[in-house]
A and B are shown apart, each in its own frame.
Chain A
């Protein structure tokens, strides 16, 4: 069974950093991309970023709202992905989800399995 589980959320002051983890099991992690999404309170889902598998270069893409502040990395040996969040703002307060990126082209990804989410609250 494919499983993803986020951890690392919590309360953090504006301007500080936080790192989220996405632990996975039930599939060959190195063969898949991992996406991060978020949902702010009372708002819709928002894509945050994606890291490709090493097969497709292991590179990452980001939403404009987080580019330069957030970075995604992966540890294929431990089947883990990370979302490093720096210079946090109050508007980054949200539930953060990781998901498995499914692709047939290496260029286009949708998410077929998701974690339950971890809450990040940015407040002074």
Chain B
């Protein structure tokens, strides 16, 4: 029972273009969503988050969109840079019945080509 899904295992984008990473979830009790970036041999690094009371959060080149009715969120990176090449994980949590435990998707490997 995969509550958080990232259906694209990989994505390749040209430098300077937009990268769009997608994530779907099934549990309507999730109220907080996060994106993490992971380089090889390192732990996940927090990137950006969004509360369920919002539909958009922006931080520099990174924007997260939340569509609660579709149970879908996406991460936009614009413009993409070669240093953005990494595995991106979306994660969701619910403070109501899971004590803030993060449920992760399987990850999407982003490759930004010069």
Chains A and B come from one and the same complex: no
A residues adjacent to B (C-beta < 8 A): none
